């Protein structure tokens, strides 16, 4: 089968198309014929090893010290089940599904095996494969942080980086949960963020949300530019800062903030739960949540796709047709 592999860390040009062995499902696994995958910030970081401050050494231990341990990137995908192991009972051949390999990756390939109890769900019939492929990364990340942050109906939520893959999901989900949403983005993305349900939008090129006198019950930092030291005065009493992207210092600071103030800093990687995919699928089928797609590329154009994501200007999700 065709797959995109990388054998060393570096710029997009380290990615190349290669013929590799087609996987065979074990007894408890399903074989997915991939129709679409995405280029997430997770793929970008695993390829480049550009990490938040303090995590570079840990990243090499995780991904591979001298070269990538998993040579095929791709954290999310959508496709059709081509074969199932003899012990599989939840899915059948022909089912259209989307899946979230997450940190295990492997989505940049024509076929992917996953255990039936993994992060897999039936594709909402009203979504294309491209849209379904982009459901998982941003959606599950936002869900997990809102769960840990105990988001409540009627609370004021600010989302820093509201036009990215996680940000566009967080705006929609916070609005679904009944929050009053403020999005922070550039002027070019104000209309998009407002269309997703944000009641207020801050253009960070002309206004600093930490200096406008407003306070929020929850601040979500998806881009790593709003550490607690910068935004603590923007948190309401018992406010929570959800650090989706932050350095090692943010992680270490979290217990200290909880002990010395009425606020909380919630950091660390998001969990990957199959039930979250099923919940997102339900919301998508009901028209309450829809991934924002920016650009589409073919698998053979994966270098160009990564080059675009490297610019930091993507809106929502970048999709790759396999």
CATH code for the domain of 27: 3.90.180.10
Strand partners, 221: 160, 243
Who wins on pLDDT, 128 or 268?
128
Instruction: Let me know whether 116 and 153 are in one domain.
Output: no
Same domain, residue pair 127 and 149:
no
Share the mean pLDDT of the chain: 95
Same domain, 162 and 130: no
pLDDT band with cut points at 50, 70 and 90 for residue 251: confident
pLDDT at 268: 86
Instruction: Reply yes or no on whether the pLDDT at 3 is more than 80.
Output: yes
Q: Write down the pLDDT at residue 62.
A: 86
Same domain, 125 and 105: yes
What is the distance between the alpha carbons of residues 30 and 32, in angstroms, rounded to a whole number? Answer: 6
Same domain, 257 and 160: yes
Instruction: Read off the pLDDT of residues 11-44 as tens digits, 9 standing for 90 and up.
Output: 999 999 999 999 999 999 999 999 999 999 999 9
Residue 45 lies in a domain: yes
- Do 62 and 121 reside in the same domain of the chain? yes
pLDDT digits (tens, 9 = 90+) for 285-308: 999 999 999 999 999 999 999 999
Mean pLDDT (whole number) for 263-272: 90
Question: In this structure, are 82 and 12 located in the same domain?
Answer: yes
pLDDT tens digits for range 94-110: 999 999 999 999 999 99
163 and 251 fall within a common domain: yes
Is residue 174 domain-resident?
Answer: yes
Handedness of CA 13, 14, 19, 25 (dihedral sign): negative
**CA distance linking residue 247 with residue 54, whole number of Å:** 6
Report how far residue 76's alpha carbon sits from residue 45's, in angstroms, rounded to the nearest whole number: 15
**Sequence-distant (≥ 6) Cβ neighbours of residue 57 within 8 angstroms:** none
303 falls within a domain: yes
The domain containing residue 167 runs over which residues?
A: 138-266
Number of domains within the chain: 2
Q: Are residues 7 and 102 in the same domain?
A: yes
Q: Is the pLDDT of residue 279 over 80?
A: yes
Contacts of residue 157, defined as CB under 8 A and 6 or more positions apart, other chains included, come to 151, 174, 179, 180, 181, 182, 216, 217, 218, 219, 220
CA distance 86 to 88: 6
Q: Give 261's pLDDT tier (boundaries 50, 70, 90).
A: confident
Q: What is the pLDDT of residue 60?
A: 87
| Same domain for 23 and 125 | yes
Q: For residues 93 and 183, state if they share a domain.
A: no
Residue 91 lies in a domain: yes
Instruction: Answer whether residue 277 is part of any domain.
Output: no
């Amino acid at each position: 089968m065709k797959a995109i592999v990388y054998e060393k860390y570096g710029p997009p040009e380290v990615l190349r198309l290669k013929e590799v062995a087609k996987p065979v499902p074990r007894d408890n696994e399903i074989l997915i014929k991939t129709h679409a995958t995405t280029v997430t910030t997770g793929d970008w970081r695993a390829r480049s090893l550009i990490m938040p401050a303090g995590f570079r050494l840990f990243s090499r231990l995780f991904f591979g010290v001298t070269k990538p341990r998993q040579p095929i990137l791709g954290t999310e995908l959508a496709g059709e089940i081509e074969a199932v192991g003899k012990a599989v009972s939840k899915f059948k051949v022909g089912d259209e599904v989307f899946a979230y390999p997450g940190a295990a990756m492997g989505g940049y390939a024509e076929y992917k095996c996953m255990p039936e109890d993994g992060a897999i769900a039936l594709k909402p019939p009203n979504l294309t494969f491209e849209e379904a492929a982009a459901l998982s990364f941003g959606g599950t990340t936002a869900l997990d942080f809102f769960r840990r942050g105990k988001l409540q109906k009627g609370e004021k939520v600010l989302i820093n980086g509201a036009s990215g893959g996680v940000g566009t999901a967080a705006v929609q989900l916070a609005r679904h949960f009944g929050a009053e949403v403020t999005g922070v983005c550039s002027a070019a993305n104000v209309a998009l963020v407002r269309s997703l349900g944000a009641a207020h939008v801050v253009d960070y090129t002309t206004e600093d949300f930490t200096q406008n006198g407003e306070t929020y019950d929850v601040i979500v930092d998806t881009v790593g530019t709003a550490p607690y030291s910068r935004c603590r005065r923007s948190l309401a009493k018992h406010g929570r800062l959800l650090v989706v992207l932050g350095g090692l210092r943010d992680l270490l600071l979290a217990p200290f903030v909880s002990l010395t103030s009425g606020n909380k800093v919630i950091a660390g990687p998001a969990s990957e739960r199959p039930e979250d995919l099923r919940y997102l699928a339900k919301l998508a089928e009901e028209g309450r949540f829809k991934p924002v797609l920016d650009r589409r590329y073919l698998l053979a154009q994966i270098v160009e796709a990564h080059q675009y994501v490297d610019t930091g200007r993507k809106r929502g999700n970048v999709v790759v047709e396999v």
